[in-house]
Amino acid sequence: EAQVTQNPRYLITVTGKKLTVTCSQNMNHEYMSWYRQDPGLGLRQIYYSMNVEVTDKGDVPEGYKVSRKEKRNFPLILESPSPNQTSLYFCASSPGQVRETQYFGPGTRLLVL
């Protein structure tokens, strides 16, 4: 089944404790992206990747890192999480270079205490 998976789905952590949210897609898509969703603000793009080893900042990259060593995986890293990073995170992928249909993962709900 074609899909985007994220792990974990739910995470409670404490300020400063490094964490990684994994994202994987099995559709051989070139483009992948991370978003955060906060009430009243819609989705805001954190980072995106056009292809392997090519990543770029979105609207709200501060406090986040990403890597794209393989086409299928695009992990989101929070080196030192803070409470303002409490949010619902979505990974998405789309084929090709043009921003066509994006396929979203199920989301990761993160709470930073």
Partner 1 sequence: SQQGEEDPQALSIQEGENATMNCSYKTSINNLQWYRQNSGRGLVHLILIRSNEREKHSGRLRVTLDTSKKSSSLLITASRAADTASYFCATDKGVDMRFGAGTRLTVKP
Q: How far is residue 70's CA from residue 48's CA, in Å, rounded to a whole number?
A: 14
Least gap, CB of 60 to partner 1 (angstroms): 10
From edge to edge, which strands make up the β-sheet containing 4-7? 4-7, 19-25, 76-78, 65-66
Residues that bind partner 1 (CB under 8 A): 4, 33, 35, 40-45, 48, 50, 56, 58-59, 88, 90, 92, 97-107, 109
CB nearer to partner 1: give 75 or 105.
Answer: 105
CB nearer to partner 1: give 24 or 33.
Answer: 33
Specify which residues 25 forms β-bridges with.
4
First to last CA, the chain: 36
CB nearer to partner 1: give 38 or 79.
Answer: 38
Least gap, CB of 18 to partner 1 (angstroms): 25
Least gap, CB of 35 to partner 1 (angstroms): 7
CB nearer to partner 1: give 79 or 100.
Answer: 100
Nearest to 36 by CA among 3, 95, 78: 78
Task: Return the amino acid letter for 91.
Answer: C
Least gap, CB of 19 to partner 1 (angstroms): 20
Q: For 84, phi and psi rounded to 5 degrees? A: -75, 0
